[in-house]
């Protein structure tokens, strides 16, 4: 039985900042951000948006009454959790109006956990082929004002339906996972911004990619030429380039050139929103499917990475008609308002952090389908907008 991704959708905030303006404000050459890091625009997060509202906004695009009936499980993968106990998936299930006879859970392992969610979903569908699983990757990447990581912030969610006879990508059985206990990036419970050993994180990412790819090739005997594209977790677009070039070296044959074109197509959306943490690999997949040379029957290789650290290399075969089930990125990226650096800084400092106070946010002018209206009696107040 084929099992995999049946439908995909993306949501981000309705605000962005031009990173050339950030470069000017930080007294940095703009080429460092747009070429050295490879990012052009960055999603800016108003206090009325968090992982629950973003997850629900992405998932809502996928749902029809019939699909909603078939969903047995909602998995929200995130490293920007809003509660140490209650799963974000419960809030999302409520906002989406799903029935009560549904399983809901939140998963965590840095940027990797959506891939765990996808694999767990495959297991659920294998045991119960009539069921569908809603897997949502939602995050807000925050490093802090005026830090080296600032240019690699971002926000958004990718939602996927996992089912039998999937219409986008049938996931193949062989995959390779690798876990090592290292401190390249982490977020202690008392911190609202990440701690990161930036340069180290980029080198362990590449080492991890090499290791899982090598082992995958040892297990399957499959040459790189069997793939039409390799897709990457993209914390910033240059990271994908570094990883791809690390395995291609100075190769300039047809396979290497095909991979380079595919990488550029997969990077297009990330360039405009930044790091989605758990969602980045899946946004790269959507971006490739909408901007690249993808064709039914192609085999794609996907590298998922989460700091801490865990990586997985897995593969999938594109299904006939896949393009109809990858919801357009263009509307989410186009219908946004540009904000100044001063406005970004103001909004950054307003985000609901670790406060126990009651707070009300103005939701006026917020175009998102779901909003966080504030906090009352230690409870977040969500509503449809």
Phi/psi-derived region of residue 257, left when phi > 0, alpha when psi is between -120 and 50, beta in every other case? alpha
Q: What is the DSSP string of 146-196?
A: TSTTGGG-EEEEEEEEEEES-SSEEEPS--EEEE----SEE--TT-SS-EE
**Contact indicator for 189, 82 with CB cutoff of 8 Å:** no
378 is a catalytic site residue: no
**Contact indicator for 170, 4 with CB cutoff of 8 Å:** yes
Q: Which of 111, 208, 270, 310 is catalytic?
A: 111
**Closest to 58 in 3D by CA, of 40, 77, 72:** 77
CA 161 to chain CA centroid, nearest Å: 15
C-alpha–C-alpha distance, residues 75 and 375, integer Å: 24
Q: Which of 109, 132, 208, 233 is catalytic?
A: 233
Q: Least distance (Å) from ligand HMG to the CB of residue 86?
A: 22
Contact residues toward ligand HMG (CB under 6 A) are: 29, 31-32, 35-37, 79, 110-111, 148-149, 151-152, 184-185, 196, 198-199, 201-202, 205, 233, 235-236, 238-239, 275, 277, 305-307
The residue number whose beta carbon is nearest to ligand HMG equals: 36
C-alpha–C-alpha distance, residues 59 and 43, integer Å: 19
When the beta carbons of 79 and 132 are compared against ligand HMG, the nearer one is 79
**Contact indicator for 79, 278 with CB cutoff of 8 Å:** yes
Q: Least distance (Å) from ligand HMG to the CB of residue 110?
A: 3
Q: Least distance (Å) from ligand HMG to the CB of residue 32?
A: 4
Q: Least distance (Å) from ligand HMG to the CB of residue 148?
A: 4
270 is a catalytic site residue: no
When the beta carbons of 49 and 237 are compared against ligand HMG, the nearer one is 237
Beta strands in 35-92 (DSSP E): 41-43, 71-77
Task: Tell me the sheet residues that pair with 111.
Answer: 109
364 is a catalytic site residue: no
Burial class (CB within 10 angstroms; exposed 0-12, middle 13-18, buried 19+) of 363: middle
Q: Least distance (Å) from ligand HMG to the CB of residue 303?
A: 10
Q: Least distance (Å) from ligand HMG to the CB of residue 270?
A: 11
When the beta carbons of 301 and 306 are compared against ligand HMG, the nearer one is 306
C-alpha–C-alpha distance, residues 200 and 148, integer Å: 13
> Active-site positions?
79, 111, 233
């Amino acid at each position: 039985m084929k099992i995999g991704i049946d439908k995909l959708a993306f949501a981000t905030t309705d605000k962005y900042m031009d990173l050339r303006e950030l470069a000017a404000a930080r007294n940095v050459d703009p080429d460092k951000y747009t070429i050295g890091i490879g990012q052009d625009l960055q999603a800016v997060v108003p206090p009325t948006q968090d992982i629950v509202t973003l997850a629900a906004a992405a998932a809502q695009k996928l749902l029809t009454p019939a699909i909603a009936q078939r969903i047995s499980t909602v998995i929200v993968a995130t490293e920007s959790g809003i509660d140490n106990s209650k799963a974000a998936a419960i809030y999302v299930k409520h906002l989406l109006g799903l029935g009560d006879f549904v399983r809901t859970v939140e998963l965590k392992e840095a940027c990797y956990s959506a891939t765990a969610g996808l694999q767990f979903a495959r297991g659920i569908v294998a045991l119960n082929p009539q069921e569908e699983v809603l897997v949502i990757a939602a995050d807000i990447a925050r490093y802090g004002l005026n830090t080296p990581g600032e240019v690699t912030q971002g926000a958004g969610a990718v939602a996927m339906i996992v089912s039998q006879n999937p219409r986008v990508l049938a996931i193949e059985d062989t995959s390779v996972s690798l876990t090592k206990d290292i401190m390249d990036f982490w977020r202690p419970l008392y911190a609202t911004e990440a701690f990161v050993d930036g340069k180290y994180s980029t080198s362990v990412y590449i080492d991890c990619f090499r290791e899982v790819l090598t082992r995958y090739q040892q297990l399957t005997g499959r040459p790189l030429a069997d793939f039409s594209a390799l897709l990457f977790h993209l914390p910033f677009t240059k990271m994908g380039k570094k990883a791809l070039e690390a395995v291609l070296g100075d190769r300039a044959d047809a396979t290497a050139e095909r991979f380079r074109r595919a990488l550029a197509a997969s990077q297009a959306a990330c360039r405009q929103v930044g790091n989605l943490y758990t969602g980045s690999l899946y946004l790269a997949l959507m971006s490739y499917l909408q901007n690249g040379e993808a064709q039914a029957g192609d085999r794609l290789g996907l590298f998922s990475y989460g700091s801490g650290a865990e990586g997985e290399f897995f593969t999938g075969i594109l299904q006939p008609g896949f393009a109809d089930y990858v919801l357009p990125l263009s509307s989410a990226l186009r219908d946004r308002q540009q904000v100044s650096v001063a406005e970004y800084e103001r909004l950054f400092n307003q985000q609901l952090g670790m406060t126990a106070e009651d707070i009300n946010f103005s939701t006026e002018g917020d175009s998102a389908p779901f909003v966080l209206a504030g906090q009352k009696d230690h409870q977040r107040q969500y509503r449809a907008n």
